[in-house]
Structure 1
Amino acid sequence: MAPYESDESTTATEADGPRAGRRRAARYAVPVAVTGVAAATIGLVPALADSGSPDLPKISAEQLIQNIAESDTEQLSGTVRITTDLGLPDLGGLESGLFSDAARGADGGEGSAADPSARLTELAAGTHTLRVAADGPDRQKLSLIRDAAEYSLIHNGKDVWGYDSESNEVYHSTTEETGKAQDVPATPKDFAEQALKAVDGTTSVTVDGTAQVAGRDAYKLVVEPKQSGTTVGAISIAVDAETWTPLKFTLTPAGGGAAVVDAGFTQVSFARPAASTFDFAPPKGAKVTEEDAAGHSESDLRLMPEEDVDRDAEGPRTIGEGWNAITVFDTGGEGLPTGGEEAGAFGGFLDSLGDQVSGKFGSGTVFKTRLVNALITDDGTVYVGAVTKDALVKAAEAQR
């Protein structure tokens, strides 16, 4: 456990945490980080809604973080409500085509509407209701509830199933990895562990009173960057006072206004879910898409033509530290086409997000949300992080 400033605040030394998270977000095709990372962030920062201030024993930030780390909660079920406000523009229905392209393949090929890499991207905007269940590291289920349909992602042992009831399509993959499947959302404890990896010497952590969440008493843990230049204002985590399980989280942007992500349990039980919760068999007549041995399916989203991707391009590197860390990588191409008929719906989407910039590095486009920003230069270099537009431009200037 890292040293703490006082009983009510702390700084830790796990400097690799935020860097590792950003490295995971940085693939050669990461121009989509402005939406993809945002969806992933939902797992890190569910919302804090104070519905009461129960009288609980005083606890230090250090002890609360330790209790979260030592929590042995493996079984739970409940309902989660998520609202995401990344400041994305109104696309006038274009988002439906974007998600459809992602599910079907950007090249128009036959993919699967049940592929989780496409379906869960819907969480990047708007308000959604999820039903979740977990029974240890080998069984989890998440269902995204829509007006007249639902999408479910089920991990049961080595099998991972995605099912879209609207299209009656199924996506199936297997995992040899002991623990959880790659595409299946983790338990709330896993979410909190990921968020707390951002705690390093550039971070202040405090206990800010108590709350009641989904009928349960909780402590409020607040994580705040000490650095300027980051888009993150604060992260609040409501921690169950009995099981030490995170119940709700909120991420507030440095620029103020509504929370970027506001999500958390509206109902929760720590009883073991019925084993049948995780059973799944493809319904009669359903189209089933199998993931191939390389971990790809027909519905993989291609952001640029295969022949334009340089497989030997330089791997990602990190500049800066803490909340100001920026991941830099070379796509090996000539930037990302963002307009015209060839770019399709996704290109138009990027156009609506982008600001043209120039400097010693040449020229490029900054794609912005209220949380994650990315600069893509015309020579194919990408700078991405939870930092401001100016910070990205300065980083590009410093590398030339």
Structure 2
Amino acid sequence: MADTRKASRFIVPVAVAGVAAATIGLVPALAASGDPDLPEITAQQLIEKIAASDTQTLSGTFRISTDLGLPLGGLADLGGLGGDGGSSSADPTEKLTELVSGTHTLRVAADGPDRQKLTLLDGSDEYSLIHNGDDVWAYDSKSNEVFHEKAPEGEGVKGEGVKGEKPSAELPGTPKQLADEVLKAAGDTTSITVDGTAKVAGRDAYQLVIKPKQSGSTVESVKIAVDAATGTPLKFTLASVQGGKPVVDAGFTKVDFGKPAASDFTFEVPEGAKVTEGAAEKGAGEEKLPEDLAKDLEKGFGDLPGFGGLGKDGDLNVIGEGWTTIAKLDTGAPAPKTDEAPKEIQGLLDSFGDKVTGKFGSGTVFKTKLVNALLTDDGTVYVGAVTQDALVNAANAGK
């Protein structure tokens, strides 16, 4: 399916299906009595089916629940995450951070690469995000604020360059080739299987299950419920080895693959609403930042100011592979002494972290259900989607 770079980072209608398909190393719904009786299919055939899906139109209701296991109510509580408090409350980069915690219901609609709409329902208030041709609009009914930004011009179809130019790197040309690449990338670290069928939003679906073969990962499984008729991912579930609620449980509760009405994507600024223009409207010069940043990332952070060659000749090292990959960063500065902080701050830090010791010395492990980080007292950081024991073992091995 075609997409536009800037709009697609906002648009969840396709994002829901697209993320699941693109991160095929991850997801399904839990099986239950009355599961549909479908023809048998292998994991490779199901991956091919997802890759061959040409779903361009859909509408429905989507429910997402996120539980990172943070001791506070969510990331939004951590001191103003998502912005500086001075921008529009309708700005998608701020508003959609709400999806990282709690349970939310969304109405979604999509009509090809140029028209998508998402409405986040929060009691009597609504937040709408609309991409219609050259424009991206967002409206927050609670504050009566509007955010507007022009969609980028000249974007090619996925797998092509700008204005239809050939991509610089050769991509898999058929669903089978893509499936082969996915299975090859999984290698010895990952198990990919089909685990029965399920009913999702009234649709018959296969369940694709991805699990780490390695011990030490915080990921128990990633499951994707795939529509048997269209190959469209309908539900995504990421489970932690800690058990309990899934880290992410997102899926359609209602879905229709018919073409939505054109009026669904029209937007008129409500009377009296405050309108904020996005960066693209303020000046084309600002658009260079992502491209320049991408180039620096490709160089391994080598030329970024203040990073001193991290990831190349500097202090960032990668330990292990696959699901148990750990990043090691030597900050060069001792960790702050929390016992010298006010009691309120000490209590907050203690709620996030566990004190640990080993051959490396001592430190604190800061934990969520998915990503954990060990900060040693000498200022070395170990971080990854791995267990506390795996971080401690990596620190011990580094001594």
Whether TM exceeds 0.5 here: the answer is yes
Q: Which residue of 1 aligns with 2:39?
A: 57
Give the alignment partner of residue 165 of structure 1, picking from 117, 131, 141.
Answer: 141
Mapping for residues 188-203 of structure 1, pairs under 5 Å: 199-203=186-190
Q: Which residue of 2 aligns with 1:82?
A: 64
2:186 aligns to what SS in structure 1?
coil
CA pair 168-378 structure 1, distance change in 2 beyond 3 A: farther
Q: Which residue of 1 aligns with 2:250?
A: 263
| Deviation readout 1:177-208 (Å, 9 max, x if unpaired) | 72699xxxxxxxxxxx9xx7983321111111
CA pair 272-361 structure 1, distance change in 2 beyond 3 A: farther
CA pair 237-96 structure 1, distance change in 2 beyond 3 A: closer
2:373 aligns to what SS in structure 1?
strand
CA pair 201-95 structure 1, distance change in 2 beyond 3 A: closer
What number of residue pairs does the alignment pair up? 330
Mapping for residues 281-296 of structure 1, pairs under 5 Å: 281-283=268-270, 284-291=272-279, 293-294=285-286
| Deviation readout 1:361-399 (Å, 9 max, x if unpaired) | 565432211112123445665432211112123223434
Mapping for residues 131-210 of structure 1, pairs under 5 Å: 131-176=107-152, 178=155, 199-210=186-197
**Bigger CA radius of gyration:** 2
Q: Following the alignment from structure 1 to structure 2, what is the Cα–Cα distance between the partners of residues 333 and 151? A: 43
Q: Following the alignment from structure 1 to structure 2, what is the Cα–Cα distance between the partners of residues 233 and 278? A: 39
1:152 deviates by 2.5
Q: Following the alignment from structure 2 to structure 1, what is the Cα–Cα distance between the partners of residues 137 and 331? A: 32
Mapping for residues 311-322 of structure 1, pairs under 5 Å: 311-312=307-308, 314-315=310-311, 317-322=317-322
Larger RCO of the pair (alpha carbons < 8 Å, separation 6+): 1
Give the alignment partner of residue 236 of structure 1, picking from 209, 219, 223.
Answer: 223
Q: Following the alignment from structure 1 to structure 2, what is the Cα–Cα distance between the partners of residues 339 and 274? A: 61
Letter in 1 for 2:100: A
1:56 deviates by 1.1
Mapping for residues 292-331 of structure 1, pairs under 5 Å: 293-294=285-286, 310-312=306-308, 314-315=310-311, 317-329=317-329
CA contact (8 A) 1:155 1:180 kept: no
Q: Following the alignment from structure 2 to structure 1, what is the Cα–Cα distance between the partners of residues 338 and 267? A: 40
1:340 deviates by 9.8
Quick one: percent identity of the two aligned structures? 57
Q: 5+ residue gaps in structure 2?
A: 1-18, 159-178, 290-304
Q: Which residue of 2 aligns with 1:48?
A: 29
CA contact (8 A) 1:317 1:328 kept: yes
Letter in 2 for 1:122: E
| Deviation readout 1:62-103 (Å, 9 max, x if unpaired) | 101111111111211111112222222245xx866547x235
CA pair 53-330 structure 1, distance change in 2 beyond 3 A: same
CA contact (8 A) 2:76 2:98 kept: no
Q: Which residue of 1 aligns with 2:88?
A: 112
Q: Which one is further off, 236-245 or 281-290?
A: 281-290
CA contact (8 A) 2:90 2:145 kept: yes
1:239 deviates by 0.8
Q: Following the alignment from structure 1 to structure 2, what is the Cα–Cα distance between the partners of residues 203 and 263? A: 22
1:60 deviates by 1.0
Q: Which residue of 2 aligns with 1:356?
A: 355
Letter in 2 for 1:385: G
Q: Following the alignment from structure 2 to structure 1, what is the Cα–Cα distance between the partners of residues 363 and 137? A: 40
1:58 deviates by 1.1
Q: Which residue of 1 aligns with 2:234?
A: 247
1:221 aligns to what SS in structure 2?
strand
CA contact (8 A) 1:49 1:213 kept: no
Q: 5+ residue gaps in structure 1?
A: 1-39, 182-192, 297-308
CA contact (8 A) 1:46 1:263 kept: no
